[in-house]
Amino acid sequence: MKRILVTGASGYIGGRLIPMLLDRGYSVRCLARDPKKLEGRPWTHQVEIVAGDVLDPESLRRALDGCAVAYYLVHAMMAGERSFVDRDRTAASNFAEAAEQVGLERIIYLGGLGRRADHLSDHLASRQEVGDILRGGAVPVTELRAAMIIGSGSASFEMMRSLVKRLPVMICPKWVRTRNQPIAVRDVLGYLVGCLEQPKTAYGIFDIGGPDVLTYKDMMIRYAAMQGLRRRIIVVPVLTPRLSAYWINLVTPIPASLAFPLVEGLRAEVICHNNRIRDLVPIPLTPFGEAVQRAMDKVHENNVSTRWSNAALPSRAALLRRPQFDPDRFPLRDVQRVEAETSSSVLFDRVQRIGGSTGYYYGNFLWWIRGAMDRIVGGVGLRRGRRDPVEIYIGDALDFWRVEDFVPGHRLLLHAEMRVPGDAWLEFRVEPRESQRSVLTQTAYFKPSGVLGRLYWYACLPAHLFIFSGMAQSIVRSAEASSDHSEAGHRQEGSASLTGSPGVPMVREPSADDVPAGGVSR
């Protein structure tokens, strides 16, 4: 079978496309800036992963060499920056040139729906320009242009779901009356695979959408009815896309930097003006209501394979900064070391559940306040949650953290993506001891950015003393209670003594500059 290159393998669409290609017997190669971030997926051992970047032409040539077809599934979405347009142009030019040099047979590109005459948003216009640049090369290109994608974990769907869930009465801008042709994520994937297997789609530009044409208001009302909710929507002409984005930032998990391009894209009508793809790739299309129900079923089953937050933050900082963890770079830190009367596997199970619906085991209200403060200043806050309540992949978003390393049973390393004047990391290590005992080492690292960063750390010092030590001890208590429950079967006396026990053994490990950094010696 043909070897297929998939770019954007850690993204929302790419992560779902790869297993479909594998099921059909294709040999798949994945392009990743950091190959480590594809570790742990169910399909990792079945694919070839190569390091590369669409902004690095030489790495693209290496990745494309030997492939027959490539999926181009990368695109920047950064509110408030014009530079993303230039980066998209450069990336598309690099890809088209490298594809031509290695003799690629075809490029399949997923872009955005809409007519340029309708004054598309910068992001939709950029997506279509990327298609033009790819077609400017010698390699045949198939471009699919999609509207709003309905699926568990998609940014558009989660934005709509959160608005309807949290607001009984919504004051909305006039763009909620703009027509849209939403498409189920399974249908997008069906078209992507179908085009690969249908040579007649080469050199074509195809609009793809579902069977229903709806306004955004229609979609919210229908979703509310399906959830048994009564919602009132009041449309006013004065709300701008930017004001709407800030409101979405406060109410939904979607940060303002991503909400703004999503809202801007909804101002222009995005419906299919040609349906040629239906004859060439005749897949059954999913009605809006069925697509919503499938998405909600996945959410309720905790079976969301990819999520909009899989990708890195849509900001200049996220592109320019390649986080590298080096403990020697962090002058400020808090170390908590707690011994546990349970196995390392049980203890680490508690660690890897942190965040999301589980919370932080201690001082959750304070964590909520910190998340709310972050949302107010345009950060991601805590509402982003996590893709799965137990399962973790490197690269997953976890509230306002990003998973940078994950060694099952041993280590979890989180990098802060909240707004903070410095660089912050949180590391958990679990080590086994004799006789079914273990030890948790929890370390918060901080590298301040100038005087403001140091002021921030010291101002938070009282909270750190309270939260970090309490969190480490509470994780251990939870693990011990879980272990006792499984071993003794509802042994209520042991459970009661554990949950009320103030005397968990704890060893405080001081380090350089650690006394002012926070923590309590015991």
Which of 81-95, 116-130, 164-178 holds the top average pLDDT? 164-178
Distance CA 426, CA 129 (A): 40
Percent of the chain with pLDDT strictly greater than 90: 56
Beta pairing partners, 336: 442
Distance CA 387, CA 393 (A): 9
CA neighbours closer than 13 Å in the CB half-sphere of residue 164: 22
Q: What integer pLDDT is reported at residue 34 of this predicted model? A: 85
Strands 106-112 and 411-416: unpaired
Q: Is the pLDDT of residue 215 over 80?
A: yes
**Cβ atoms within 10 Å of 27's Cβ, excluding its own:** 16
Q: Give the pLDDT mean for 2-21.
A: 93
Contact between residue 360 and residue 463 where contact means Cβ atoms under 8 Å apart: no
Distance CA 239, CA 243 (A): 6
Distance CA 17, CA 110 (A): 12
* pTM to 2 decimal places: 0.83
- At 499, the pLDDT band (50, 70, 90 cuts) reads very low
Mean pLDDT, the chain, as a whole number? 85
Q: Each residue of 292-301: pLDDT tens digit? A: 999 999 998 8
Q: What integer pLDDT is reported at residue 156 of this predicted model? A: 87
Distance CA 358, CA 352 (A): 10
Backbone angles phi, psi at 472, to 5 degrees: -60, -45
Instruction: Give buried/exposed letters for 201-239 (b at 16+ CB in 10 A, else e).
Output: bbebbbbbbbbbbbbbbbbbbbbbeeeeeebebeeeeeb
Distance CA 19, CA 23 (A): 6
Q: Each residue of 330-362: pLDDT tens digit? A: 889 999 999 999 999 999 999 999 999 999 999
Q: What integer pLDDT is reported at residue 142 of this predicted model? A: 97
Q: Give the pLDDT mean for 423-451.
A: 94
Q: What integer pLDDT is reported at residue 18 of this predicted model? A: 96
Q: What integer pLDDT is reported at residue 236 of this predicted model? A: 85
Which carries the bigger pLDDT value, residue 142 or residue 11? 142
Contact between residue 220 and residue 163 where contact means Cβ atoms under 8 Å apart: yes
Q: What integer pLDDT is reported at residue 246 of this predicted model? A: 79
Q: Each residue of 159-170: pLDDT tens digit? A: 899 999 999 998
422: tokens are: 């410095």
Q: Which domains does the chain have, with CATH numbers?
A: 3-310 (3.40.50.720), 323-517 (3.30.530.20)
CA neighbours closer than 13 Å in the CB half-sphere of residue 231: 27
Q: Is the pLDDT of residue 257 over 80?
A: no
Q: Is the pLDDT of residue 70 over 50?
A: yes
Percent of the chain with pLDDT strictly greater than 70: 88
Q: Is the pLDDT of residue 80 over 50?
A: no
Kindly tell me the sign of the dihedral angle through the C-alpha atoms of 180, 184, 185, 190. negative
Q: Is the pLDDT of residue 520 over 60?
A: no
Q: What integer pLDDT is reported at residue 67 of this predicted model? A: 96
Q: What integer pLDDT is reported at residue 173 of this predicted model? A: 83
Residue type, 76: A
172: tokens are: 């909305």
Contact between residue 194 and residue 132 where contact means Cβ atoms under 8 Å apart: no
Q: What integer pLDDT is reported at residue 522 of this predicted model? A: 32
Element (H, E) at 218: helix 216-226
Q: Is the pLDDT of residue 503 over 60?
A: no
Q: What integer pLDDT is reported at residue 487 of this predicted model? A: 56
Q: What integer pLDDT is reported at residue 315 of this predicted model? A: 41
Which carries the bigger pLDDT value, residue 462 or residue 293? 293
- At 219, the pLDDT band (50, 70, 90 cuts) reads very high
User: Among 123-127, 276-280, 304-308, 315-319, where is mean pLDDT lowest?
Assistant: 315-319
Q: Each residue of 50-66: pLDDT tens digit? A: 999 998 999 999 999 99
- At 512, the pLDDT band (50, 70, 90 cuts) reads very low
Q: Give the pLDDT mean for 442-465.
A: 90
- At 116, the pLDDT band (50, 70, 90 cuts) reads low
User: Among 12-21, 140-149, 273-282, 296-305, where is mean pLDDT lowest?
Assistant: 296-305
Distance CA 349, CA 378 (A): 32
Q: Is the pLDDT of residue 214 over 80?
A: yes
Q: What integer pLDDT is reported at residue 494 of this predicted model? A: 42
Q: Give the pLDDT mean for 359-369.
A: 93
Q: Is the pLDDT of residue 24 over 90?
A: yes
Q: Among 421, 445, 409, 433, which residue's Cα sits nearest to residue 336?
A: 445
Q: What integer pLDDT is reported at residue 506 of this predicted model? A: 39
Q: Give the pLDDT mean for 212-219.
A: 93
- At 256, the pLDDT band (50, 70, 90 cuts) reads confident
Beta pairing partners, 236: 173
- At 318, the pLDDT band (50, 70, 90 cuts) reads very low
Which carries the bigger pLDDT value, residue 506 or residue 94? 94
